[in-house]
Amino acid sequence: MQASVIKADHLDLVFQTNDGPVHALSDVSLDIGKGEFVSFIGPSGCGKTTFLRCVAALEHPTGGSLTVNGMTPDAARQARSYGYVFQAAGLYPWRTIARNIKLPLEIMGFPKAEQEERVARVLELVDLKGFGNKYPWQLSGGMQQRASIARALAFDADILLMDEPFGALDEIVRDHLNEQLLALWARTGKTCLFVTHSIPEAVYLSTKIVVMSPRPGRITDVIESPLPKERPLDIRDTPEFLEIAHRVREGLRAGHAYDD
């Protein structure tokens, strides 16, 4: 494994709410190397999204330390270290797909000519060539989410943070997008952090699976996947795959994730 890109050390995050303090993250220590694909899996409230938001400096830990590319999360954001993909595509309905992808480029002040060139490049990367002039409502849900991934890739961050990006899509579209995402990851060599509810999705995509459990949100298991980098969809029927899936399930059970 190469140099660590994200390093969390005894990370704590306590939200003060009206019902008293909520321990969103407790003693989370994790090391993510360059080019890894790391999935976070666990039930609602286990802190997987919160951890991603900490990396993105959208939340601020109350204890422990967290570095992104060797910087504080805030500095890493200023340095455009990551692109964030949310659960919903969140494309602006008044902008075409191309102009949606241009949004971060405009905000970050890229020159006009370079904007065009980057949009064309990422549209091709997510297989949406020729759709630049369409409006979001003219695209299917899966295509919209691909456009939002393109938007996150447009400014060449080397980390891709994805918070259940395919959660709202149906199984068939999801399989297809998972395949495409793996191909994209192989081509770009980005470090990916991927939050999911789905065990097969986590096992299929990841080089490392982080199993989390709630109350307080913590890591119960970290699984290094022995699966090869080249993964056809039917790898999901192999014994190795099922064995990892089983271990993920065990990890979730150990964290009492099935209690309620």
Please tell me the count of residues contacting another protein according to CB under 8 A. 23
Least distance in angstroms from the C-beta of 92 to another protein: 7
**Which amino acid, 7?**
K
Q: Does 156 bind another protein (CB under 8 A)?
A: no
Q: Does 58 bind another protein (CB under 8 A)?
A: yes
Q: Which strand (E) or helix (H) includes residue 46?
A: none
Least distance in angstroms from the C-beta of 183 to another protein: 24
Least distance in angstroms from the C-beta of 225 to another protein: 28
Which residue of 93, 189, 228, 239 would you call a contact of another protein, by CB under 8 A? 93
* Cβ burial, residue 224 (10 Å; 0-12/13-18/19+): exposed
Q: How far is CA 233 from the centre of its chain?
A: 20
DSSP 91-122: --TTS-HHHHHHHHHHHHT--HHHHHHHHHHH
Please, which residues have CB within 8 angstroms of residue 233's CB and are 6 or more apart in sequence? 175, 178, 179, 204
Locate 60 and state its tokens: 């601020």
Locate 133 and state its tokens: 């002039």
Least distance in angstroms from the C-beta of 167 to another protein: 13
What are the Cα distances from residue 60, in Å, to 57, 138, 197? 6, 38, 24
- DSSP character at residue 257: T
Which residue of 104, 132, 214, 216 would you call a contact of another protein, by CB under 8 A? 104
Least distance in angstroms from the C-beta of 34 to another protein: 20
Which residue of 1, 108, 242, 254 would you call a contact of another protein, by CB under 8 A? 108
Which residue of 42, 61, 83, 214 would you call a contact of another protein, by CB under 8 A? 83
Q: Does 137 bind another protein (CB under 8 A)?
A: yes
Residue among 42 and 83 whose Cβ is closer to another protein: 83
Which residue of 3, 107, 113, 172 would you call a contact of another protein, by CB under 8 A? 107
Site string for another protein, 9-38 (x = CB under 8 A): ------------------------------
Judged by CB under 8 A, the stretch of 94-102, 196-204, 225-233, 237-245 that binds another protein is 94-102
Least distance in angstroms from the C-beta of 123 to another protein: 18
Q: Does 238 bind another protein (CB under 8 A)?
A: no
CA dihedral 66→48→140→134, nearest 10 degrees, is -20
* Residues making up the chain, counted from first to last: 260
Which residue of 40, 84, 131, 185 would you call a contact of another protein, by CB under 8 A? 84
Task: Give the phi and the psi of residue 162 in degrees, each rounded to 5.
Answer: -130, 120
Q: Round to whole Å and give the CA distance between 84 and 193.
A: 10
Least distance in angstroms from the C-beta of 103 to another protein: 7
Judged by CB under 8 A, the stretch of 15-23, 81-89, 203-211, 230-238 that binds another protein is 81-89
Q: Round to whole Å and give the CA distance between 153 and 149.
A: 6
